Structure 1
Amino acid sequence: MCGITGWLDWQRDLTEQGNVVTAMADTLKRRGPDAGGQWLAPRVGLAHRRLIVIDPNGGVQPMVRQAGGNTYAITYNGELYNFRELRRELEGRGHVFESRSDTEVLLRAYIEWGPSCVEKFNGIFAFAIWDEKEQQLFLGRDHLGVKPLFYAQRGSSFLFGSEMKALLANPLVKPEVDQDGLTELMAMGVFRTPGQGIYRGVTEVLPGHTVLVTRNGVRVTQYWKLESREHTEDFAATVQHVRDLLEDAITRQLVSDVPIGTMLSGGLDSSGVSAVAALAFKGEGRQLDTYSLQFVDEDRDFKANPMHRDLDAPWAKRVADTSGTNHHIILLDTPDLLEDILEPMRARDLPATGDIETSLYTLFKKMKPEVTVALSGESADEVFGGYPWYYTPEMRSINNFPWTALGGNKLEEAVLPDVMERLNPKAHQAMRYQEALSLVPRLAGESAEDARTREIFFLNIARFLPYMLDRKDRMSMAASLEVRVPFCDYRLVEYMWNVPWEMKFAGGVEKGLLREAFSHVLPEDVVRRRKTAYPVTHNPTYVNGVKQRVREIVEEGTSPIFDLFDRDKVRQAAYYEGPTGSGFVSLKNYYDHIIQMDAWMREYKVSLV
């Protein structure tokens, strides 16, 4: 995994802008700490920061190749899991390879097939290719959007980068947020609508899309989308099909020239991935390393709720023991979280959510000395139906994004009345909801209930999953760790999209089909364990710590957030000494959000325009 960035300009000579291109790339050093490089031509400058995973010597980037009298250059972030098959096909077409990296496979695929090359790829990727003869820049992003990619147009310039900080390092892009961006941020929070960059004039390349930049303009093309059709296989055949797809995806994603492990919480998704990976390792005479997160004193502080039914630790140990993995427990305490509390914001270039992201970053940071690559169970809930809003009637029926049924945004209570009236975040969220519904691939003849189920799956894949993948990518790459997500294999997502709910909910339990698919590699009690969300700290010392930070922000008094929030209301929350319980959780999130907004606006010198 890596960081990519670049600058195309139709008027100025970019061979004289190497320092700026270097500055853009330097912002991405944590994504690629092992090496860096740039390639400059009159019209384009490409840069790369590398995290070495495959072919340390041959995969140097930007990579330049000559073919048919033409020059092609690529900067690429990601992994192609079918690169061996593609390489054989390209060799059969006369291509001679100079490395064993998937970077060269991707570049030669473009040389052979042009922009349609993306239809050949199975992987996670974001890349840019400069075609000297055609004088065009071609950008592509993977099917589900696992790897990020942003761009901005400024006059004759087109700039792109893995993260928005790379764009902001160019003098042409200012940290300005207009009313549209602020409304999106306040209304949607971390569930930012795909394509929206928040900063003025910054756009995200959508998952499953490509962007072609020529002198005639910018052309965006969708090369992949979900399609609805009747499912024809019975339950037994469906289970076997899913099992085959999962085992193929997991084993493909174990390819690495550096140490690799898996995340193991003890939940169904990570347990299944770890069990299959452990079997593959055993077949090669190796032992798999697995990693889980625990909080100091969590036995004392844990409070069960519908999203957190029980502690993960005993279940992670159970799977590690039965699968024979070398299990590592990463123990986090309040000082760890408070020390790293702003790292997720710096990784995102936008306000983060608090300890749910901080703990993930700190977990990866502590894993990094031992592994460079890890597999994760991300997206199983979206693809197989793991969240309560899939099957809880009152959550299914709300006329909004179903996860909003978990509770409102308490931070809205502190927004200044004139700001609230001007932005009208509730109307914006309602508009975004209807916009998302209009994109659902419908199936003629479905019952109203089945159609609603299809809507909920689409909303989760197209709107909820982007946040989950964004969080996983930013937190892992900020720690210079690559995380792969087998459940995002587009073949699996395509297949599961049309499997009826009765099969997905087999046995009357969430992810019933997935439980059956993993039943041959997991203990029965692990297969039966009900869904428990990613863990959060329940330690009161964390709440006291973030509360004190909010008090300092209030008393210092010069924070730019007070252009948006009522200082007296924030002070009232900061000095609240009432009972804990559900309000305790809400206030913890409230404090986290205030800290994030304050630090983001200060550090990034955000201008509201």
Structure 2
Amino acid sequence: MCGIFGVYNFDRQKVSRDRSLAAVKKINHRGPDFQKVVFYNDEAIALGHARLSIIDLSDVANQPMETDKYSVVFNGEIYNYIEIREELKTAGYSFTTNSDTEVLIHAYDYWKDKCVEKFNGMWAFTILCKKTGNLFCSRDRFGVKPFNYYYDKKKLIFCSEIKSILEYDPALKVPNYNSIGLFCREGICGEIEETWFEGIKRLMPGHNMYIVDGDVKIKKYYDFPTDTIDISFNDAKIKFKEIFDDAVKLRMRSDVPVGTTLSGGLDSSSIVSSVRTFFKGEHDTFTAHFPDFKDDEYANAKKTNEALDLTGNPIIIKYGENYLEVLEEIIYHLESGHLSPSIFPLWRVYEQSTKKVTVLLEGQGADELLGGYIASFGGSFLKEQLGKGNIKNFLKQFSLLNKNYNIKSIATLYLRANLPIAVRTFIRRNVLKYENIFDGHIKTVSYPEKTKNSSNSPLKNQLQESHQTTLVNLLHYGDALSMAFGLESRLPFMDYRLVNFCYTLPAEYLINDGKGKYILREAMKDDLPKHIYEDAKKLGFPSPVDKFFRENKELLKSILLSEKSKARNIFNSTELEYFINNRMDKNSGERVIFRAVCVELWFKTFIDK
């Protein structure tokens, strides 16, 4: 897990050495163990790297790593590197390190761009062919690792974090008001190609970039499966557990200490339950603990720690006077806002866990894969049952979902997810009463094309859309916040084998018995603590930030209604003040204000400075 940076001058001008070194230094937090920049092709190309040592801690595994043909900068992990290395040895390759980076560079030499299809992992990397000067860049299938870039006819600049691009070329520090406007309205952010900086883009998940003879091309290499396989539930359950256990085992490969974030829920509990099937040594878990919050999950996590003989580390979360100061620091690392106030407790979890571990296993990705957010996915599931003519199962599941959750909220969220943009705008303006807050530069926005999936299952189409949008946004902040502390986050539910398998299963294997993630629950039944297996609720990451906002309205107004904020020509000050005074406590209005605060702090951090 590291940070990468590079410059490619198409006009053959020399890359600035000083600015390149400063750009790599800017992401020192991603790779505090070693930093280096190497220049090629008469210094028209620069490759830079900041290393966080996880696999093979020796100096020979530092980057940029070179062979006689290639040079590579790589951020991420190839978890199945040992198996690929053995395959490459059989093909005649020899190795001088025990790193996955050397496996990557030889894999590219052997399979060229098809090498990414062999990798089980998370990555963003660039390989330079020294002879031709061509580049091959890739981002992992699901967007766990970031790859940002700026391109014009003269140069290409790429990096793990945009702040490196701005350090190299400060003239690119220009707001992208369309992206900011999308965020303010609907929380759209890290899942789209646009960033908050005009002209700086993201290489999308599952895509490769080719720089050949000065020409830049981008090509998609990964698609979700769309067909449903014929398999019994018992066989599917066995296969699921086999893949899941192996995904966890692969992600335990490390030359530094590994721990797990543990909530009181099914996902992270399944991970530690799997760990305990093959690893009996000391294993630390880290849980956000809100002592005064009714939805605090620590009591459940504590029971899991005791049942599985884990070393629990409760991290007490309090929203005090420094909340906005911490939020400003978070936004510096996000390089944007974020839709969820849960970033604050996660920041504290990462901050404290680094005292004991360098790698964390986390449960991100399970909900979007297995139908965990029943309130969001239940409507599509019920629709599918009706479409198949499964009236008996429809009535049974309708009753169970209503008992465990609430059919009214399921129906509301289903309609909201499928409403046209014009209708959503109407609701924001006339029902939720916050559309009129947006003015000036963000009064109107252009929406990205909606993800299209071709499965014949309404549920799996919605799950895939969520996997490609909301989840990518969550991955964006997971990477940024963990790497702020030089911490590697590993996600077993993002194993591509598990994703491919689950998206071929019948919908009834994912949602059943009035519960989401049904196959996970049943596959792990014998390993899970009883209190986790029997709990059907999905709480999410609790965050009592609404209380903080309600109690600090004057502080919020001092930020959002300052003369500097008004001069940005983004918000209608009169409407914004009225909303804070009269509407913020209704319909989750504090989330709208949270987004506005994020925008103002972003301008203060990146534009004013």
Give yes or no for TM over 0.5.
yes
Q: CA deviation at 1:79?
A: 0.6
In structure 2, distance between residues paired with 1:184 and 1:396: 21
Which residue matches 2:505?
499
The answer to whether the Cα contact below 8 Å between 2:328 and 2:605 also exists between their aligned partners in 1 is no
Give the Å deviation of 1:295.
Answer: 1.9
C-alpha deviations, 1:108-140, integer Å up to 9, x for none? 111222122111111011101111112211101
Matched, 1:532 2:517: no
Report the equivalent of 1:306.
none
Instruction: Give the alignment of 1:92-111 within 5 angstroms.
Output: 92-111=90-109
**1:561·1:601 contact (CA, 8 Å) conserved in 2?**
no
Deviations 1:332-388 (A, max 9, x none): 111264441112211111123463112211220111111110000001000000111
Instruction: Spell out the pairing of 1:99-248 with structure 2 (5 A cutoff).
Output: 99-171=97-169, 174-178=172-176, 180-248=178-246
Aligned-residue offset at 1:227 = 2.1
Cα deviation per residue 1:403-441 (whole Å; 9 max; x = unaligned)?
Answer: 999x96969445355656x51x4xx44xx4xx334x202
Q: Provide TM-score, normalisation by structure 1.
A: 0.87
Q: Distance in 2 between matches of 1:143 and 1:13?
A: 34
CA distance in 2, matches of 1:538, 1:252: 36
Counterparts of 2:338 and 2:366, CA distance in 1: 23
2-side partners of 1:477 and 1:155: how far apart? 32
> 1:73–1:129: 8 Å Cα contact kept in structure 2?
yes
Query: C-alpha deviations, 1:584-605, integer Å up to 9, x for none?
Result: x734323322321111112211
Which residue number corresponds to residue 307 of structure 1? none
Q: Residue 413 of structure 2 corresponds to which residue in structure 1?
A: 395
Task: Determine the C-alpha separation between the residues in 1 that align with 2:240 and 2:31.
Answer: 34
Report deviation, 1:507: 2.0
Give distance in 2, aligned partners of 1:351 and 1:323.
37
The separation in 1 between residues aligned to 2:433 and 2:598, in whole angstroms, is 12
Distance 2:420 2:462 in 1: 7
Give the letter aligned to residue 53 of structure 1: I
Q: Is it true that 1:294 corresponds to 2:292 in the alignment? A: no
Which TM-score applies when normalising by structure 2? 0.87
Secondary structure of 1:95 counterpart: coil
Match of 1:440 in 2: 453
C-alpha displacement of 1:539: 6.8
> Does 1:60 find its partner at 2:58?
no
CA distance 1:368–1:561, shift in 2 (3 Å) = farther
Alignment partner of 1:487 is 2:493: yes
Listed one character per residue, the Cα deviations across residues 295-330 of structure 1 (whole Å, up to 9, x for unaligned) are: 2422xxx3xxxxxxx431121011111111011101
Alignment correspondent of 2:248: 250
Name which of 476, 491, 495 aligns with 1:470: 476
What does 1:292-441 correspond to in 2, within 5 Å? 292-298=287-293, 302=294, 310-335=295-320, 337-353=323-339, 355-387=341-373, 388-391=375-378, 392-398=410-416, 400=418, 412-416=434-438, 422-423=443-444, 425=445, 428-429=446-447, 432=448, 435-437=449-451, 439-441=452-454
Structure 1 residue 163 displacement after superposition: 1.5
Q: Distance in 1 between matches of 2:511 and 2:593?
A: 37
- Measured in 2, the distance between the counterparts of 1:545 and 1:62 equals 50
Answer yes or no: is the 8 Å Cα contact 2:546–2:590 preserved in 1.
Answer: no
What is residue 274 of structure 2 aligned with on the other side?
276
- Residue 105 (structure 1) shift: 0.6
Q: Which amino acid aligns with 2:597?
A: I
Q: In structure 2, what residue type is equivalent to 1:25?
A: V
Q: Does 1:3 align with 2:21?
A: no
Moved more, 242-251 or 152-161: 152-161
Question: CA distance change for structure 1 residues 216 and 379 in 2, over 3 Å: closer, same or farther?
Answer: same
8 Å contact from structure 1 (residues 291, 330) kept in 2: yes
State the Cα distance separating 1:498 from its structure 2 match: 1.5
- On the 8 A contact 1:154/1:172 being kept in 2, the answer is no
List per-residue Cα deviations over 1:14-68 (Å, max 9, x = no partner).
3x521111121122111112221111112310111111111111320111111xx
2:201 partner SS: strand
CA distance in 2, matches of 1:507, 1:189: 32
The CA deviation at 1:177 is: 3.0
> 2: CA distance between counterparts of 1:36 and 1:138?
22
Partner of residue 598, structure 1:
600
The yes-or-no answer on 1:457 pairing with 2:463 is: yes
Letter in 1 for 2:414: R
The 1:245/1:266 distance shift into structure 2, 3 A limit, reads same
Q: For 1:518-557, what aligned pairs fall within 5 Å after superposition?
A: 518-538=524-544, 542-543=548-549, 546-554=552-560, 556-557=562-563
Shift of 1:220: 1.1
The separation in 2 between residues aligned to 1:28 and 1:539, in whole angstroms, is 29
Which deviates further from its counterpart, 490-499 or 585-594? 585-594
Confirm or deny: 8 A CA contact 1:5 1:166 kept in the other structure: yes
Distance apart, 1:568 and its partner CA: 2.3
Question: Could you tell me how far apart the structure 1 residues matched to 2:513 and 2:581 are?
Answer: 48
Which amino acid letter does the alignment assign opposite residue 10 of structure 1?
F
Q: CA deviation at 1:481?
A: 1.0
CA deviation after TM superposition for structure 1 residue 513, in Å: 1.2
1:184 offset after TM fit, Å?
Answer: 3.8
Task: Classify the secondary structure of the residue corresponding to 2:205.
Answer: coil
Give, as a single letter, the amino acid of the residue that structure 2 aligns with 1:454. Answer: K
Q: Aligned partners of 1:338 and 1:183: how far apart in 2?
A: 22
Between the two proteins, what is the percent identity of the paired residues?
27
> What SS class does the counterpart of residue 334 from structure 1 fall into?
coil
Residue 94 of structure 1, CA deviation: 1.7
Counterpart amino acid of 1:290?
T
Shift in Å, 1:151: 1.0
Secondary structure of 1:559's aligned partner: helix
For 1:589, the equivalent position in structure 2 comes to 591
Q: CA deviation at 1:560?
A: 5.4
The aligned residue for residue 522 of structure 2 is: 516
**Residues 35, 49 of structure 1: 8 Å contact kept:** yes
Give the CA deviation at 1:196.
2.1
Letter in 2 for 1:31: R
How many residues align? The count is 568
- The 1:560/1:75 distance shift into structure 2, 3 A limit, reads farther
AA aligned to 1:293 is: A
Q: Give the Cα–Cα distance (whole angstroms) in 2 for the partners of residues 102 and 497 of structure 1.
A: 29
Q: Which amino acid aligns with 1:55?
A: D
SS in 2 for 1:492: helix
> Is the 2:549–2:590 Cα contact (8 Å) retained in structure 1?
yes
CA distance in structure 2 between the aligned counterparts of 1:258 and 1:591, rounded to whole angstroms? 41
Q: For residues 543 and 137 of structure 2, what CA distance do their matches in structure 1 show?
A: 40
- Equivalent residue, structure 2, for 1:305: none
Deviates more, 1:488-497 or 1:56-65: 56-65
Is there any run of 5+ residues in structure 2 with no aligned partner, and where? 379-409
Q: 2:402 — aligned with what?
A: none
Q: Is the 8 A contact 2:184 2:596 kept in 1?
A: no
Report the Cα offset of residue 162 of structure 1.
0.8
Which one-letter code corresponds to 2:246 in the other structure?
A: D
Matches of 1:540 and 1:193, distance apart in 2: 25
Note closer, same or farther for the CA distance 1:88–1:361 as it changes in structure 2 (3 Å cut).
same
